[in-house]
Amino acid sequence: MPMKNFRTHYDTPHILTVTVSRPAALNALDNETLDGLREIIQEVYQNDETRGIILTGEGEKAFVAGADIKELSVLNAQEALALVEKTHRLFKQIEDCPKPIIAAVNGFALGGGCELAMACHMRIATENAKFGQPEVTLGIIPGYGGTQRLTQLVGRGKALELMLTGDMITAAEAKTIGLVNHVVATHADMMTLATSMLTRILSKGPLAVARVIQSVNAGYSFEADGYSAEARNFAALTTTADFKEGTTAFIEKRKPNFTGK
């Protein structure tokens, strides 16, 4: 399935590797890329050839460096709310996919990129990978489910620390707090481990695999209100001067001066 901003291929039968490929923007998720990912995930649900998925980013530098900040910087509140809600649905489809999806994190997984990795069922990272939710630096908050999924994965205290400071952490730290399952030395090791884990899972009963995913996710359905709070708060912040300042400062490659307005 050829698609702009993606490469998809089978290295091993039934295991589809999906590579987000926008290297000039460190694989940031613009609208077109999110639309492409939606089509790929729909195809994954329908295609019997695909039984497991590895999701990764192009190159050695970035998995996904977040939402596309240039695109984000000009959104009004209504557009932001619509985009957040649409992407919540897409990431929920990834999370609820009955076929196992492993994020192979080969570099920066920041903002929406960290959120995308967290929507996958498991995460394997290379040593050079970096994780973070730096949205506060832009005057906004995580908007693609991060306030909920990061808290579920690492607990409230550590999640708040990461989201309030916007600090990046190494793959080793991410493993210590439970954000990633495994850390390996090289890109090749990462793909080998992801493939061998999926191969083991695919040798089990596919109906049982699907029901494990469904049962685990059902335990988190009470957090639906958290997702809508995230969407409303994200949209409200796009009306502030701090949002304009934060995103403009990134584009102009300077430090932001926030005024709390």
Which residues are annotated as catalytic? 115, 135
Using rule CB under 6 A, residue 139 touches ligand CO8: no
Using rule CB under 6 A, residue 67 touches ligand CO8: yes
- Rounded distance between C-alpha atoms, residue 115 and residue 104, angstroms: 13
In this chain, which stretch among 35-43, 108-116, 153-161, 216-224 interacts with ligand CO8, using CB under 6 A? 108-116
CA dist 211 to 71, 87, 140, 214, Å?
Answer: 38, 24, 36, 5
Q: For the beta carbon of residue 31, count every other beta carbon within 10 angstroms.
A: 14
Query: Given the complex with ligand CO8, which of 6 and 63 has the nearer CB atom?
Result: 63
Query: Given the complex with ligand CO8, which of 176 and 233 has the nearer CB atom?
Result: 233
In this chain, which stretch among 2-10, 43-51, 136-144, 176-184 interacts with ligand CO8, using CB under 6 A? 136-144
Site residues for ligand CO8, window 24-43 (CB under 6 A)?
25-26, 28
Query: Given the complex with ligand CO8, which of 72 and 129 has the nearer CB atom?
Result: 72
Using rule CB under 6 A, residue 58 touches ligand CO8: no
Q: How many residues bind ligand CO8 (CB under 6 A)?
A: 25
Among 91, 131, 144, 243, binds ligand CO8 (CB under 6 A): 144
Q: Considering only CA atoms, which of 114, 32, 31 is closest in space to residue 75?
A: 31
Using rule CB under 6 A, residue 83 touches ligand CO8: yes
Q: How far apart are the first and last CA of the chain?
A: 46
Among 63, 108, 131, 243, binds ligand CO8 (CB under 6 A): 108
For residue 144, the one-letter residue type is Y
DSSP result, 51-116 = -EEEEEESTTTEEE--B-HHHHTT--HHHHHHHHHHHHHHHHHHHT-SS-EEEEE-SEEETHHHHH
Query: Given the complex with ligand CO8, which of 196 and 228 has the nearer CB atom?
Result: 228
Residue 252 per-residue DSSP state: T
In this chain, which stretch among 95-103, 142-150, 152-160, 190-198 interacts with ligand CO8, using CB under 6 A? 142-150
Residues in the chain: 261
Q: Under the rule (CB under 6 A), what is the footprint of ligand CO8?
A: 25-26, 28, 65-70, 72, 75, 80, 83-84, 108, 110-112, 134-135, 138, 142-144, 234
